[in-house]
Amino acid sequence: MKTTSGPWMATRASERALGRIGLYAALALAMFFAFFPIYWMLVTSLRPNSEVFAFPPSLLPQTLTLEHYANFIKNPQLLVYLGNSVLVATTTALVSLIISVYAAYSFSKFRYTGRRALMFLVLSAQMFPQALLLISLYLMFSELKMLDTYAVLVLSFTTFTLPLCIWMLKGYFDHIPTDLIEAAKIDGAGQMQIIHRILVPIVRPALVATGIFAFMRGWNDFIYALTLVGKSKQTLPPGLVLTYIGEFQSQWADMMAASLLVSLPLVIAFILFQRQIVSGLTAGAVKG
Amino acid sequence: MNAQQLTRPLIAAGLLMGTIACGGQAAAPPPAAATKAPAPPAAAAPAEFTFTGWAINEGASKEVVTGYMKAYGASKNAVIKEQPFPFGEELNQLVLQASGGSAQGAAQLDIAWLATMAATGKLKDLSAYAKDRGYTQAGLLSGQVKGVQYGLPWTTGSIGMAANKQLLDAAGVTSMPKTVAEFETALLKIKKSNPDVIPYAGMTAAAQLKDILFWIWTFGGTVIDNKGNVTLGDAGSVAALEWYKSLLDRGLMNKEMDRFTARQLFSQGKVAFYDDAIVMKGIVTKDSPVKNLGDLIVPVARPVLKEGDKPQALLWGHIVVVFEGKNADAAAQWAQFLTSDLATTTNYFEKLALPPTTDAALKADLVKKDSFTSDWSSKITATANANPFALYAASARMESILTERVNAYLVGSVPTAKAALDKAAADITPLLK
């Protein structure tokens, strides 16, 4: 037994070691792709301008400076863009959540004529190129005299967030036993009470995940925020490009510092709600 | 070339700009009251209109231009609202606004965008505002489409070649190359002298391959002939593209080179020759680790195929257009003031080194004494040609077709220059109508 198990055990151990090395190598590679751009943003934001385009480039800055972060804070227009982003993205998330909760509940728990067609109609909004929709939305909002308002941004962003929000929440509602709703009805609860007092607390992780998704859509959009509103109501993505990239300028270090700063709210939100986000995103994925 | 194309090359631009270098008496600044500008509206309520452009939000020009807006608004009872767009986005945004009927006021345009904007049918004819303001003929032509003056010229210059004299001296290149053969020899000397230096930072990134135009002209190609036929794929254009790729293959140029990168590398003393607009000096000297870089930059007349040929460059500049609609006259008066008021245009040159477009401003001491501008104007702008696609409404698409096909050849996905350019010609031809 000893003579046969020894080599077998050794082979098994070396296979495990090799597997582990392969796993770590794959993880290292994945981490490199995930984190190197962030690292490069960080070191670029900490270099003086004269070093940013040094050739050949160096992985570590020769001189450290916080001037690019100070430039962001000292620029009042960037703070206006930041405020607009917070307002528009938060409102988009709230509006998307409110509408999608009712729509998802309806699609999940009721059976009526045209339900499936309506569901796919909602989804079809995701299938049009957004740049194409921009032209028709612009003309429509122009006719309605709604251009250059916060409402026009919220409405546009909500158009694109609703389909996914509704389908994400529907997946979550599908997992809630109908018996629970029936029991509430027997206890005398109306539909609104069922939604607000029973279902919403249950689907809170999904609401967080969906809300973050809608928030990100409003936070990251460039072309709609550039086209539909003027400078005073523009959000950060067009604001940063307007401020740092032009015909004769490319202030990459300032841009990197600003990009890192403005990504902080999303990073903090992810850290605070990561458990809900993960459970919310995965809950609808597997049919129970 | 048709009549307009013959005039648009704007050889006169350089000749007029060349007067800067030729000396002579500076014209006395005309008093503002003596100008023949249409009178501002005599309404009690201020005229409100928008000024669109990238200059009102970009780097050094922001403070300067918004300062003009405020001062003009206060003195003329006007409220000028800012509408900035990033340079790369403005054309699309303005076309969309014009289509939606919301475009109004005045707007800064690159001269290459004018035909596209004119095709929207929303631009005001500014002929009355262009009269008696002393605009150069070259400048006026840059604002015309089919003989109609849609734009008032704000700055007229060119995209040409600049060199770092110190790197050339170090490589033993004692005189500026005049022919393509001499240019190649100079590049080889530079590469041999210092392998860390890029001999020629010609554009090789897809987005900026329109620079191939001036090499096509250099090799005898015409791009679009006088009958309005696309001639890409002719002997001149094929020879130019094959030669351009040979520079890349021999390591005399770098892959994926764009204007921003070329500027930065030139700024660090790592590039011997590259192509840029006349404003390049101020950009590359800012934050440069080479202390005296400003003294080392030399404008270079593009090398020609054989002695006696005309050095080629691409006309470049900005104009101001006005949209038809409410307060269009007030916006046109602002456009006229911005582009032709002597104090304003010379101040604009002083702050941003952008050449003015009126004879009076070009003769002003401040402009005449700027040796770099004079040198650039006489060596480069003097023989600059307009972008041949700029006459057509689909100019942006035409240009991108050319750059895509040229890039395909440079990266090796199309086997021959002839095949790449024939395909470009076939795709561009339907867009001429």
Give residue-wise pLDDT tens across range B15-38.
333 333 333 333 333 333 333 455
Question: How far from each other are the two terminal CA atoms of chain A, in whole angstroms?
Answer: 47
User: Which of B397, B422, B417, B393 lies closest to B407 in space, CA to CA?
Assistant: B417
Q: What is the pairing mode between strands B313-322 and B106-110? A: antiparallel
Quote ipTM for the complex: 0.75
Distance from CA of B419 to the nearest CA of A (A): 32
> C-alpha dihedral over A217, A223, A228, A231, to 10 degrees?
100
Q: At which of B387, B402, B419 does a domain end?
A: B387
Q: Which amino acid is at B337?
A: F
What's the confidence (pLDDT) of residue B391? 87
A250 shares contact with chain B (CB less than 8 Å): yes
Interface contact flag, A246 B288, Cβ < 8 Å: no
The answer to whether B309 and B219 are in contact (CB under 8 A) is: no
Answer yes or no: is pLDDT of A11 > 90.
Answer: no
Length of chain A: 288
- Region A197-216: mean pLDDT is 89
Residue B254 has phi, psi (to 5 degrees) of -110, 155
- Rounded to whole angstroms, the Cα distance separating B231 from B425 reads 7
Whether residues B274 and B186 share a domain: the answer is yes
Averaged pLDDT, B237-247: 97
In this structure, are B362 and B400 located in the same domain? no
User: Under a CB-based contact definition with an 8 Å cutoff, are residues B17 and B355 in contact?
Assistant: yes
One domain, residues B274 and B308: yes
Contacts of A285 (CB under 8 A, 6+ apart): A171
- If you search the block for the tokens 């401040």, which residue do you land on? B366
Which residue on chain B is closest to A246 by alpha carbon? B87
Q: Which helix (H) or strand (E) holds B358?
A: none
Residues B136, B61 share a domain:
yes
Q: What is the mean pLDDT of residues A202-223?
A: 90
* B401 and B261 within one domain: yes
**pLDDT at residue B355, rounded to an integer:** 92
pLDDT digits (tens, 9 = 90+) for B301-313: 999 999 999 999 9
CATH number of residue B117's parent domain = 3.40.190.10
Task: Tell me how long chain B is.
Answer: 433
The token pair at B331 is 């916006």
- pLDDT of amino acid B433: 77
| B46-100 pLDDT, tens digit each | 899 999 999 998 878 899 999 999 999 999 999 999 999 999 899 999 999 998 8
Put simply, whether A76 touches B (Cβ < 8 Å) is no
The B residues from 92 to 111 touching A (CB cutoff 8 Å) are 93, 96, 99-102
Kind of pairing between the strands at B47-53 and B78-84: parallel
Q: Which pLDDT score, from 0 to 100, does residue B419 have?
A: 97
Q: Average pLDDT in the A198-225 region?
A: 90
- With an 8 Å Cβ cutoff, are B59 and A249 in contact? yes
What token pair was written down for B420? 């790449």
Beta bridge partners of A247: none
**Measured between CB atoms, does A282 come within 8 Å of chain B?**
no
Q: Residues B235, B382: one domain?
A: no
The C-alpha of B34 sits at a distance from chain A's nearest C-alpha, in angstroms, of: 35
What pTM, to 2 d.p., does this model score? 0.79
Instruction: Specify the pLDDT at position B5.
Output: 39
Query: Of B82, B268, B289, which has the smallest distance from its Cβ to A231's Cβ?
Result: B82
Closest CA to B320 of B140, B203, B154, B172: B154
Nearest residue in chain A measured CA to CA from B268: A54
B84–A55 CB contact, under 8 Å: no
Cβ–Cβ below 8 Å for A226 and B100: no
| B275 and B207 together in one domain | yes
Instruction: Find which of A252-261, B158-167, B376-385 is predicted with most confidence, using mean pLDDT.
Output: B158-167
Say if residues B387 and B395 touch (Cβ distance below 8 Å): yes
What is the longest distance spanned by two Cα atoms in chain A?
A: 87
CB nearest B100 (choices: A142, A226, A230): A142
pLDDT in the model for residue A124 = 84
Map residue B48 onto helix, strand or coil. Answer: strand
Single-letter residue type at A137: L
Mean of the per-residue pLDDT values of chain B: 88
pLDDT at position B44, please? 61
Residue B14 pLDDT level (bands cut at 50, 70, 90):
very low
Contact yes or no for B270 and A55 at CB 8 A:
yes
**Residue A53: pLDDT above 80?**
no
3-state secondary structure of A61: coil
B96 vs A138: CB contact, 8 Å cut-off? yes
B299 and B332 share a domain? no
CB contact under 8 A, B93 and A227: yes
Q: What's the rounded mean pLDDT across residues B308-320?
A: 95
B168 and B190 part of one domain: yes
Q: What is the mean pLDDT of residues B376-397?
A: 90
For helices B395-410 and B417-428, the axis angle rounded to 10 degrees is 160
Task: Give percent helix, percent strand, percent coil of chain B, each to the nearest 5.
Answer: 50, 15, 35
Question: pLDDT-derived band of residue A5, with 50, 70 and 90 as boundaries?
Answer: low
**Between residues B17 and A206, the one the model is more confident about:** A206
Interface contact flag, B83 A142, Cβ < 8 Å: no
What six digits make up the tokens of B373? 């501008």
Q: Nearest CA of chain B to the CA of A86: how many Å?
A: 22
Region B140-156: mean pLDDT is 94
Q: How much is the pLDDT for B345?
A: 96
Residue of B nearest to A140 (CA): B100
Residue A38's CB: how many other CB atoms inside 10 A? Answer: 12
Give CA B265 to chain center in angstroms: 21
DSSP state of B142: H
Separation between Cα atoms, residue A139 and residue B96, nearest integer Å: 9
Residue of chain B whose alpha carbon sits nearest to that of A143: B100
- Pair B268, B366 in one domain: no
Question: What residues contact residue B357 under an 8 Å CB cut-off, 6+ apart?
Answer: B135, B136, B138, B139, B153, B154, B155, B156, B317, B339, B340, B345
Q: Is B43's pLDDT higher than 60?
A: no
Pick the residue from chain A with its C-alpha nearest to B94. A227
pLDDT for residue B18: 38
Q: Are A141 and A104 in contact (CB under 8 A)?
A: no
Model confidence band, residue A281 (pLDDT cutoffs 50, 70, 90):
low
Task: Flag whether pLDDT at A280 surpasses 80.
Answer: no
Is A139 in CB contact (< 8 Å) with chain B? yes
Report whether pLDDT(A24) > 90.
Answer: yes
Q: Is B260 on the interface with A (CB under 8 A)?
A: yes
Strand partners, B107: B52, B321
What is the mean pLDDT of the segment spanning A43-49?
91
Confidence of residue B127 (pLDDT cuts 50, 70, 90): very high
State which residues form the domain around B293: 159-313+389-432
| Rounded CA separation B188/B210 (Å) | 25
8 Å CB contact of B59 and A246: yes
> Which of A140-145's residues contact partners 24+ apart within 8 Å by CB, and which partners?
A141/A228, A142/B100, A142/B101, A142/B102
- DSSP conformation letters of A220-271: H--HHHHHHS-GGG--HHHHHHHHHB-SS-B-HHHHHHHHHHHHHHHHHHHH
Check B86 against A142: CB less than 8 A apart: no
Look at B102 and A142 and tell me if their CB atoms are within 8 Å. Answer: yes
B191 and B243 co-located in one domain: yes
Query: A96-142 pLDDT, tens per residue?
Result: 999 999 999 999 999 999 999 999 888 887 788 887 888 888 989 98
* pLDDT for res B27: 35
Amino acid (one-letter) located at B62? K
Query: Count of domains in chain B?
Result: 2
What confidence tier does A284 reach under pLDDT thresholds 50, 70, 90? low
Is the same domain home to B276 and B350? no
- The Cα–Cα gap between A61 and A50 comes to 11
Task: Write the burial class of residue B195 (CB in 10 Å: 0-12 exposed, 13-18 middle, 19+ buried).
Answer: exposed
Residue A115, amino acid: R
The band of A283, judged by pLDDT with boundaries at 50, 70 and 90, is low
